[in-house]
Structure 1
Amino acid sequence: MLRTVLSPRMLGLHLLTVAVLVSFILLGRWQLGVFQESGKPHVANDPAPVSVTTLARVGAQMDGMSAGRRVTATGVYDASLQLLVVDREPDVDAPGGKVSRDRGYWVLTPLRLDDGTLMPVVRGWTARPGGPAMAVPTGQVTVAGRLRPSQGTDSVQSRPDELPAGQVDTVSTGQLINVWTGRKLRDGFLVAQPPSGALTQVKIAPPVVGGTLTWRNLAYAANWWIFAGFAVFMWFHFVRDAVRTDREHRKSPEMVLEG
């Protein structure tokens, strides 16, 4: 039996079976990987910038699909209403490849649009209040950046009495309405990209959408593994037949001599 299994003809069959088995298993793992990746959130298509007025409205909550979208806004900054959002990180790589963990301030300045409404704009980050970096551009400007929805106040301790004048702890549309009283405010806020003047960039990711599992790829993976199992079955079938045939050939001479 061993001589039959290790014969040159059978060794070729063994090698072919191993190659087929490895290939089918790897193909199955590849399809399984495609299936798993399909369920992960991924960056959505990043459309061209649109006017902020089409996505951020007055008195209406921002659509979830609008978060992270690139927009442009044209108007005049109202320096008298500028605020600092406390306890914020710059969210950018510091010199030397290290991530800066310094706490500072977002510089939040409302942009008065042509229709008189205000669009909150995070112009950038600063390590400390004051300084030339916080200077507000004058005249009409066009700001490019990404939209972010209004921040909730549930996870942020509300402390209006503890903060100095001109500082807030979150960029909440509801809170800003009370601070900028008597003005029409658009929902959400715009993060300027690039930042204004010498301010440090505040990073914002493009919109992300949830993945959709592609069950077809899981079925493909199962098919490849079934083929691998069938290859093993056929190998066993050929080896068994070869051993049986060899045994019958060995018995035939003995039967002829006895006759």
Structure 2
Amino acid sequence: MDSERPGVPKGRVAVLTVVALLVVLACGGLGVWQWQRGNVVITEPPARQPVAPVSEIVDAGASGAAAVLSADEVGHRVEVTGTFDPDVDLLVPGRALDGVVGSWALGVVVLADGSGVPVVRGWVPEGTLAPALPTGTVDLRGVVQPPEASDLAPSTAALPAGQTWVVSAADLINRVDYPVANAYVTDTAPAAGLRAVPPDDPGQATRRLDWRNLAYAGQWWVFALFAVVLWFRAVRDERRAAGEDDPGTPADGPVHGAGGRDMSGAR
């Protein structure tokens, strides 16, 4: 009676599988951790940052690159404290809100240092007069927005006094004798008779890539792949070894005759 063919040692294969799985999980997890460290968030989105005094975000006296808002300044919530300049009470026509054409009410708040910050007080429907500028000290909150370029103007036609096509420091400095911030603020809680103007640009978080940590992440994932390859080869070798140890395969060639004596040459 032939002996049964031995199978692959299941206990050893199970141990190899468990070890390989643990290595893959460990290397994969470490790779994800390194990847997250490589994508560093320097600042949170501006809309989620604490409200700051407007002078900490925009500087009316800055020039050159310092006067340009950065990614983590656009969309920042700010507090503006000062007085509205009574000589700057403007409408910005051609502005739609919820599909209705109207105008922005624009003013300039003079801060304690004597500089001015343009403030979009709110929106009114076309043909409607905006409420008068507040008198005395105001303390409002709003969202910082970059200045508008002249090419955003819907028309090049001349406007009547008290109106302007765009919200820009380049236009406002011709109307006042003090420095004006190269940005503007949209009032989030306008006075009665005005509707809040949602900011066009909500801002975004500032990020940077740490290439060293990203490289480490790639290395961990390569190690995980290498563990899978080693597991596959180990299981394959175990199966081959089990086949080679099969006692049902004769090692010294065929044996003829019941007694094992070769009588093929006998006469």
Q: Same fold (TM over 0.5)?
A: yes
> Shift in Å at residue 171 of structure 1?
0.7
CA contact 2:145–2:185 (8 Å) conserved in 1: yes
Contact kept? 2:107, 2:121, Cα under 8 Å: yes
Q: Distance in 1 between matches of 2:79 and 2:41?
A: 32
Correspondence 1:183 to 2:186: no
* 1:74 and 2:81 correspond: yes
Hey, what's the Cα distance between the residues in 1 that align with 2:52 and 2:170?
26
Query: What secondary structure, in the 3-state scheme, does the structure 2 residue paired with 1:169 have?
Result: coil
Match of 1:243 among 227, 235, 240: 240
Q: State the alpha-carbon separation in 2 of the partners of residues 53 and 186 from structure 1.
A: 15
Measure the CA separation in 1 of the matches of 2:22 and 2:133: 69
1:52 is matched by which residue type in structure 2? S
The equivalences for 1:39-50 within 5 A come to 43=45, 46-50=49-53
Identity %: 23
2:94 corresponds in structure 1 to 87
| 1:76 counterpart letter in structure 2 | T
TM-score, normalization by structure 2:
0.68
User: Could you report, residue by residue, the CA deviation over 1:155-185 in whole angstroms, capped at 9, with x for unpaired residues?
Assistant: 4456251x3432222111111223x1x5224
Asked if residue 200 in structure 1 is aligned to residue 207 in structure 2, the reply is no
Among 207, 210, 235, the residue aligned to 1:211 = 207
Segments of 5+ residues of structure 2 without an aligned counterpart are 261-267
Which one has a larger percent helix, Structure 1 or Structure 2?
1
Corresponding residue pairs, total = 244
Summarize deviations over 1:58-100 as a string: whole Å, max 9, x none: 474634244444433333324452111223344xxxxxxxxx3
Cα–Cα, structure 1 residues 130 and 183, in superposed 2: closer, same or farther, change >3 Å?
farther
Contact conserved, 2:16 with 2:231, CA < 8 A, in 1? Answer: no
Kindly provide the amino acid, as one letter, of the partner of residue 172 in structure 1. S
- Pairwise CA distance, 1:123: 0.8
CA contact (8 A) 1:30 1:221 kept: no
> Which protein is bigger by CA-based radius of gyration?
2
**Structure-2 separation of matches of 1:36 and 1:88:** 42
Structure 1 residue ranges without an equivalent (≥5): 91-99
Structure 2 distance, partners of 1:195, 1:108, is: 12
CA distance in 2, matches of 1:226, 1:101: 57
1:15, CA displacement in angstroms?
Answer: 6.1
- Other-structure match for 2:168: 172
TM-score (norm 1): 0.70
Aligned-pair CA distance for 1:186: 1.4
The one-letter code matched in structure 1 to 2:106 is L
